[in-house]
């Protein structure tokens, strides 16, 4: 696992720091912590190009003033070391007591700053993710804004959702790639098991596994730990906890 410093043109690095300080000063001057406005100030595409901040605001409000650990997959800016990180700085401002972590396939170490740490590696490399989680500790929020490749999104969820703290939230962005062939998606067969939307739609049944009429049914991990799912245009939120609410009719997956 590598997040060591990369050689960057000193002038470019200075310009980057000045831009970051300028954006911070704009936030401080406006005394504005509304997530939509923070997104615009820091230039993230989560507002404007997309309309994700309105949903993040409603789901993440309860974490605002808590000491949380957030992990966002994908820094942005592709190969350019000083490009990207806009949403990380937005989250840092939105969560004043939070620690913001991120992973990216490219070296983004020059974008690190106080309360923002970036690891370099693949979102589907189990050994790498295990090391990241070991260093972070308990994770309250995970956001997948990585490759958007269907296979990657599904595999990353399988690897990281078990690492999420109970009471935490796992969010997936840009689920429209579920329908795009170049990302492994499918617009023709909406029941294609290889697409992320079909995978996550199948997990809605996990919420109601207590109602299955399947004698001797064995709960899987997602049956036990998914307590809520919220679908929006191009994004999903999944809440983690103990899914132990009993049926009022079914006992041990058999009708009374």
200-203 long-range contacts, CB within 8 A, separation 24+ = 200/172, 200/175, 200/229, 200/231, 200/236, 200/238, 203/229, 203/238
Domains of the chain: 65-255 (3.40.50.150)
Main-chain phi, psi angles of 239, to 5 degrees: -95, 140
CA angle 180, 150, 125 (to 5 degrees): 145
Residue 95 has pLDDT above 90, yes or no: yes
In this prediction, residue 181 has a pLDDT band, given cuts at 50, 70 and 90, of: very high
Give the model's pLDDT for residue 18.
Answer: 60
Residue numbers annotated as active site? 148
Mean pLDDT within 104-115: 97
- Mean pLDDT for all residues in the chain: 91
Give the model's pLDDT for residue 192.
Answer: 97
DSSP string, 10-50: HHHHHHHHHHHHHHHHHHHHHT---HHHHHHHHT-TTBTTS
Mean pLDDT within 52-74: 97
Q: What is the pLDDT of residues 192-243, one digit of tens each?
A: 999 999 999 999 999 999 999 999 999 999 999 999 999 999 999 999 999 9
CA distances in angstroms from 161 to 30, 42, 59, 229, listed in the order given = 37, 28, 17, 13
Q: How far is it, in rounded angstroms, from Cα 69 to Cα 130?
A: 16
Mean pLDDT within 136-163: 99
């Amino acid at each position: 696992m590598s997040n060591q410093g990369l050689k960057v043109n000193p002038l470019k690095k200075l310009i980057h720091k000045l831009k970051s300080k300028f954006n911070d000063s704009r936030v401080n001057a406006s005394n504005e912590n509304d997530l939509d406005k923070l997104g615009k100030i820091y230039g993230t595409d989560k507002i404007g190009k997309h309309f994700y901040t309105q949903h993040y605001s409603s789901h993440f409000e309860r974490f605002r003033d808590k000491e949380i650990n957030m992990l966002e997959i994908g820094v942005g800016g592709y190969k350019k070391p000083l490009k990207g990180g806009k949403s990380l700085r937005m989250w840092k401002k939105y969560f004043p007591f939070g620690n913001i972590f991120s992973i990216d396939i490219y070296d983004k170490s020059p974008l690190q700053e106080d309360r923002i740490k970036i690891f370099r590696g693949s979102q589907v490399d189990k050994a790498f993710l295990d090391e990241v989680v070991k260093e972070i500790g308990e994770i309250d929020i995970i956001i997948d804004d990585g490759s958007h490749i269907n296979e990657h999104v599904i595999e990353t969820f399988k690897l990281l959702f078990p690492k999420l703290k109970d009471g935490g939230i796992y969010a997936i962005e840009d689920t429209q790639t579920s329908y795009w062939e170049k990302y492994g998606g499918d617009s023709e067969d909406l029941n294609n098991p290889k697409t992320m939307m079909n995978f996550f739609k199948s997990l809605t049944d996990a919420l109601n596994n207590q109602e299955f009429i399947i004698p001797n049914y064995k709960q899987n991990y997602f049956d036990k730990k998914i307590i809520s799912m919220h679908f929006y245009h191009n994004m999903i939120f999944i809440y983690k906890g103990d899914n132990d609410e009993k049926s009022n009719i079914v006992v041990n997956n058999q009708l009374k």
